[in-house]
Amino acid sequence: MNASSDPLWPSELRCSADKKYLSIRFENGDNFTLSAELLRVESPSAEVQGHGSDQKKTPLNKGDVQILGIEPVGSYAVRLIFSDSHDTGIFSWVLLHDYGVRQEAMMADYQSRVVALG
């Protein structure tokens, strides 16, 4: 990856050996390890997010999902390919950083939505 003046530019992006985690280090020194489950259930795709704030879906049973591929999208993002065939989410560096900062709250919110669905 190329250096940039953007502090959210990644300096390292790596998938764990078991394909259950994505580690990303940013030029500003921030470092996060994100679970494949979180990335899958919060995918920025229309399939998950819908086309409006009231259309967000809650994918279920994604605890065993793996990241099978990481493809660059220009110089600003990656497309993640998951073991359940989901591959339409484009994860920008800014979005991945945001997920890293908020991952605990995001996962708690997801788990609450799952419980509410019964």
Q: Tokens 């890293």 label which residue? A: 100
pLDDT at 27: 94
- Provide the pLDDT for residue 2: 47
CATH number of this structure's domain 10-117, picked from the four choices 3.30.2020.30, 3.40.50.10490, 3.40.50.300, 3.40.50.2300:
3.30.2020.30
Contact 52, 39 (CB under 8 A): no
Distance CA 86, CA 80 (A): 8
- Residue 23 near residue 13, CB atoms below 8 Å: yes
Report the predicted TM-score, pTM, of the whole model to 2 decimal places.
0.89
Give domain limits for the chain.
Answer: 10-117
Longest dimension (CA), the chain: 47
Beta-strand relationship, 77-82 and 67-73? antiparallel
Residue 62's CB is within 10 A of a number of other CB atoms, namely 21
- pLDDT tens by residue, 45-62: 867 776 776 777 898 999
Model pLDDT for residues 63-93, shown as the tens digit of each residue: 999 999 999 999 999 999 999 999 999 999 9
